[in-house]
Amino acid sequence: MEPTEPSHCPIPPHPTILLLNSRPWLYDIKVAGLKDVSDDQLLAAVGNHTDVVWLQGCWELGPYGQRHDVQDPGRLQHFKDCLPDFTEDDCIGSPYAIRQYICNPSLGTEEDLAHFRKRLAARGIALMLDFVPNHMARDSAWIEEGLFIKGRTGDTVFGRDPYSGDWTDTAQLNYWSEACRQHMLQQLLDLADRCDGLRVDMAMLCVNEVVERTWGPLLREQGFQRPAEEFWVWALPQLRRRHPDFLLLAECYEYDEILPHGTMLELLKQGFSAAYDKVIYDRLTESHLDKLREHLYQHPRMCTGQLCHFTENHDEDRTAAHFGHRALAATVASLTLPGPRLIMWGQEKGFRERLAVHLRRARPEAPDASLSAPLSGLLGALQKCRGQFQALPVDGDASWRFLAWGWKGNPDGAQTVAVAVVNYTDEEAWANVKLAELLKGATAETLHLTDVLSQEVFERSTAALCGSEGLVVGLKPFQSHMLVCSW
């Protein structure tokens, strides 16, 4: 399919974002670059339900990072843990130790990247790329331009956050330097001209209070002062004047000691479209229902569509490995919430083997049919999880074991509702889910509720569903329903 102008693609509310690990993907399908990807290969990667492709790792890397990785004992052990038959050829360097923002030769040229964007847009899919504001590679093309923090011995310091060790393949940018701020603004604007959205790596590290905690004393010794205005507050309006609907997704982790009101809230306040809701992931991991409910039902931004949800990404273990028998329930609970839904290439097949971010391949494995079939149904139903979101009341002695919410909208012209019900506990339970408000206006006497996870169809009287009993649900431990119906 030959793409036509324009290359820009609008992004719908609550989009499904596919994290496509660019170089491992190309290695897997055995092509030399983006221009050689066939239509069939592209369609196989993006599927029928993707709104945004996050093409991870498409920027140029220098030789330093890859050389560093294969000489570091800790990283070598990690690579061998992920890949028992690891060889040095498998190490491709971290996509977050960028030399400069031009297309990685492993993918092709800038023209190839632009053409790939047009091919996606022709299918109604937007392109999202990486922006890494905190640091660059040690052999960055900018290393002599005075943009980086210097240590007391005069050497450029390694990138880091307030709590981790040094990221020894990177150099730390100096956001208390006006030259650095101007330079990074220009990079941001240039990148926004080449895609429809940016996933901003560790976006909270540019917040003044975080820089203060991490680098403040050193920077003051060197004559730098804390800027009066936050970088994002200053920079993002300039981007939006060019691209009003641009998607800016902030990767962030909660720094309660530094930003007690919430790191995620702070980044949304500073102008991001959406931010990682790592709290949901952690609560699902803990299986602590009281804390999970508190976040789900009381967070002030939960219903705004600004919180990005996921059960895996390149920094986490695969969903199937991390959550085990809870994997499908956790995925249903996470991805059916308001906001961007992030899935990772291979997740839809139920893969368990981790694809380390520095490697071109993971340990080979076959798809897990027990997960891939229901996940296919779930991903297809996410387009129906737009419109009006409602938390659903649940009654009964075991109601505390359930999470339930629904969506109501007109995605295909017909009135459609989608209902997610999850038993996120270790015992079978029954309860009554109240649907009267969600089904208000239903014209059919009988509704056919299709569970997209199992493909079972339940025929129920509309009057009964809207009555005092509601929908009677019985679920085994960590089982879920994702029910869809239209009228």
- Domain ranges (residues) in the chain: 16-384, 388-486
Compute CA 478 distance to the chain's CA centroid, rounded to the nearest angstrom.
23
Residue 15 makes CB contacts below 8 A (sequence gap 6+) with 51, 52, 126, 247, 340, 341
Return the CATH class of domain 16-384: alpha beta
**Amino acid at site 73:** P
Alpha-helix runs per DSSP H in 248-398: 263-269, 278-286, 289-298, 319-323, 327-335, 369-381
Tell me if 145 sits within 8 A of 172, measured CB to CB. Answer: no
> Can you read off the two tokens belonging to residue 405?
């919410």
Q: Name the DSSP letter for residue 205.
A: G
- For tokens 């920079």, name the residue: 235
Residue 1: predicted pLDDT: 44
CATH fold, domain 388-486, is: Immunoglobulin-like (2.60.40)
**What span, in angstroms and rounded, lies between the C-alpha atoms of 109 and 103?**
6
Q: Name the DSSP letter for residue 145.
A: S
Write the CA distances from 473 to 43, 398, 420, 482, 486, integer angstroms.
Answer: 37, 11, 11, 12, 20
Task: Report the run of H or E that residue 408 belongs to, with start and end.
Answer: strand 402-409
Task: Report the run of H or E that residue 429 belongs to, with start and end.
Answer: strand 429-433
Tell me if 141 sits within 8 A of 187, measured CB to CB. Answer: no
- The alpha carbon dihedral of 131, 136, 139, 142 has a sign of positive
Peptide bond into 227 cis (omega under 30): no
Q: Name the DSSP letter for residue 474.
A: E
Per residue of the chain (487 residues), give pLDDT as tens.
454 456 789 999 999 999 999 999 999 999 999 999 999 999 999 998 999 999 999 999 999 999 999 999 999 999 999 999 999 999 999 999 999 999 999 999 999 999 999 999 999 999 999 999 999 999 999 998 999 999 999 999 999 999 999 999 999 999 999 999 999 999 999 999 999 999 999 999 999 999 999 999 999 999 999 999 999 999 999 999 999 999 999 999 999 999 999 999 999 999 999 999 999 999 999 999 999 999 999 999 999 999 999 999 999 999 999 999 999 999 999 999 999 999 999 999 999 999 999 999 999 999 999 999 999 999 999 999 999 999 999 999 999 999 999 999 986 778 999 999 999 999 999 999 999 999 999 989 999 999 999 999 999 999 999 999 999 999 999 999 999 999 9
User: Closest by alpha carbon to 31, among 124, 123, 116?
Assistant: 116
User: Closest by alpha carbon to 304, among 273, 276, 331, 283?
Assistant: 273
Tell me if 39 sits within 8 A of 318, measured CB to CB. Answer: no
Cross-strand bridge partners of residue 153: none
Q: Taking the CB of residue 224, how many other CB atoms lie within 10 A of it?
A: 19
- Rounded (to 5) percent helix, strand, coil in the chain: 35, 20, 45
**What span, in angstroms and rounded, lies between the C-alpha atoms of 138 and 136?**
7
Q: Taking the CB of residue 476, how many other CB atoms lie within 10 A of it?
A: 11
b or e along 54-81 (b: 16 or more beta carbons within 10 Å of the residue's beta carbon)? Answer: bbbbbbbbbebbbebbbeeeebeebbee
pTM above 0.95, yes or no: yes
Residue 101 makes CB contacts below 8 A (sequence gap 6+) with 59, 60, 187, 190, 191
Compute CA 391 distance to the chain's CA centroid, rounded to the nearest angstrom.
23
**What span, in angstroms and rounded, lies between the C-alpha atoms of 487 and 467?**
18
**What span, in angstroms and rounded, lies between the C-alpha atoms of 484 and 141?**
52
Residue 36: predicted pLDDT: 98
DSSP E strand stretches across 107-177? 126-131, 135-137, 170-172
**What span, in angstroms and rounded, lies between the C-alpha atoms of 64 and 67?**
5
Strands 480-486 and 416-423: antiparallel
Tell me if 231 sits within 8 A of 197, measured CB to CB. Answer: no
**What span, in angstroms and rounded, lies between the C-alpha atoms of 443 and 28?**
49
